[in-house]
A and B are shown apart, each in its own frame.
Chain A
Amino acid sequence: MKRHFRVWRGDASGGELRDFDVEVNEGEVVLDIIHRLQATQAPDLACRWNCKAGKCGSCSMEINGMPRLGCMTRMSTFTEDETITVTPIRTFPVIRDLVTDVSFNYEKARETPAFAPPPGVAPGDYRMRQVDVERSQEFRKCIECFLCQNTCHVIRDHDENKPAFSGPRFFIRAAELDMHPLDDRADRKEYAQASQGLGYCNITKCCTEVCPEHIKITDNAIIPMKERVVDRRYDPLVWLGRKIFRRDELESASAKPSSAHPSAPHPPTANPSAANPPTVNPPMSSARLPQTAPVGPDGHMDIAELVAPQQGGLSPFGEDIEFPLPPEQISYHHPDPDKSPDH
């Protein structure tokens, strides 16, 4: 069956939406159609992809105005007479067709301080509990599709904010290291605030909305990072408490602050096995105690998001807009590098 597609074609000097009528078979995804266009009508149509299974984060594009992975957008989600409009992700400069220059993200990655291994713990001696690593593991699911970066209004159409703002992808990186049980740096939150531009974020949750890995970027990374930065800044006592206690323990500790004792809060962990006599058994966790994650009674993080009808927060485009938009309402404007946005 033939379907109508409009695909943005052009390069840094400009371009336009081109119309294509193309065969679509049962079970196909938008990326398949792009491939069919390459094979039959437009061999030089530029588009990134690798895995075709939502694992590599290469095929980010905007489909009927919605930032998505081309390989994970099934054709069956559109009605049969619907025109499908495919444009490049908008926050980054176009190179050609659907391919954009995402080097911004790699620069920000380079500026984010790396994992600091705990001194004195030999390779092979790292011991961590599953519940402690799960918080960071959520953020390590990131496939670097940069859809969250593309969606965040702080830099979408606002190139002027790019130098100061690292974006949600790198907030979760900072949060991941902050929650890493053995990371030796204690200033991840302060760094996010001072150098990554965390303050620009006003928690609109757009990033969470588009994340194909369903990472709760705002709830699990940004908000906790902000909270604690605020706490630390304005309340030195709480700051001290945070250093010493896990958050759940803090609640009870603040009721009787006299019990604050730096060596007490370490929770007893699994018994050292015979193979690891206590003398050589390194700490299960670093001296710097992790804050709690939303861990359920079974000791695991909840997966409600996977089954919820809608993950994360509200739609970045407003709750009253329905996707897909009618094609005549879509106008992709390539940002003009010479003109600063007029809003």
Chain B
Amino acid sequence: MKGYYARKVHSLLGLIPISLFLIEHAITNFAAYEGGPEGFRDAVRLLNDLPLVFFLELFAIWLPLLFHGVYGLYIAYQAQPNLGHFKTERNWRFVMQRITGVIAFIFIIWHVYTTRFQITLGNTTHDELGGWMHNIVTQPGFFVFFLVGVIATTFHFANGVWAFFVSWGITVGPRAQRISSYICLGLFVVVTAMFLMSLFAFRSAEFADTASVITTTLHTMIG
């Protein structure tokens, strides 16, 4: 699929549902910072108590992400960056949108494999996820990868929302696009802060208690 409609689908999916899911994800994780292990477990339970959760995951996350991600790689491949001669903020953002998309693609595959997929395999459970996360983010290499992956994804999300408004002709003039830049910058700061605060919360000793039980399993799984 090529052309106008494929690109419109790519753009729409970027916002609905993927960006909305990312915001939801930030809120759920934030429970780890606010409510500790119990708060996080309750937040995860709340999600898994949603009706038809399998279909929700499939149609609101997996399939849209697959299409947006694969088509996004193709869009990124098509660009011929020329930052060397045009060092403007918008051109930087154009290039970064593509680089962060590729980082997000790799990061998300790894992240889903080490969390959600391990639940499917039966190596951990939804209730044990807090401790499971503790074991991942207390390893320096993985923690750095998490930081890079999270910031790349939130940048891609915030700048993507900005681009979405242009792609659909909502912000037309330079003034509208400038104001929308500030709003999306605010969005970037808030969502990034929420993710980072929850990442640091997962590292805290609080989450270690639940972790000790499953440490051995995790180590055999992801090294």
Does A associate with B in a complex? no
